[in-house]
Amino acid sequence: MSMEDVIEECKLFYFAGSETTSSLIIWTMFCFSLQQEWQMQARQEILQVFGTKELHFDGLKHLKIMNMILNEVIRLYPPATMVVQATSKDTTLGDMMIPSGVHIIIPIMHVHHDNEIWGEDAKDFKPERFSEGVED
């Protein structure tokens, strides 16, 4: 890669990160406006962890309720609605053989709202879904 290519890639990461972060913040504020009990719980947790002191990185790992809320917001309103990948060589996926050059589309929004995966309330804001964390 040329230096110009590297600079362009860095710009892309910066702008993509800004866009996804701003999307998460906006949707979180939207959910807080509709679900004020969760807003109050998050506020209490932040005050419990940080008090009136300045926020610090080490305290973030103690924000369980806030993490549950952010995971649920990302599930309901993902910053990318689909992912497109192309196979570069013949690939086996489960029992399927996918030839080289095939484009695979993963509809994230559909998966995140699937009743079979999330239950009948898949479209509802329920941060408690993530009370046990996130599976790897």
CATH number at residue 62: 1.10.630.10
Burial of 11 (0-12, 13-18, 19+ CB in 10 A): exposed
Residue span of the structural domain in which 18 resides: 3-130
Specify the number of domains making up the chain.
Answer: 1
Q: Is residue 136 part of a domain?
A: no
pLDDT score, position 136: 57
pTM of the model as a whole:
0.79
For residues 4-20, average pLDDT: 81
Instruction: Provide the pLDDT confidence category of residue 17 given band limits of 50, 70 and 90.
Output: confident
Instruction: Provide the pLDDT confidence category of residue 7 given band limits of 50, 70 and 90.
Output: confident
Q: Is residue 135 part of a domain?
A: no
Segment 31-82, tens digit of pLDDT: 999 999 999 999 999 999 999 889 899 999 999 999 999 999 999 999 888 9
pLDDT score, position 106: 92
**Torsion sign over Cα 27, 29, 30, 31:** positive
Tokens of 70: 């952010």
Distance between CA atoms of residues 60 and 46, nearest Å = 9
One-letter amino acid of 123: K
Q: Is residue 11 part of a domain?
A: yes
Tokens of 120: 């009948």
Contact 133, 72 (CB under 8 A): no
The H or E element spanning position 105 is strand 103-106
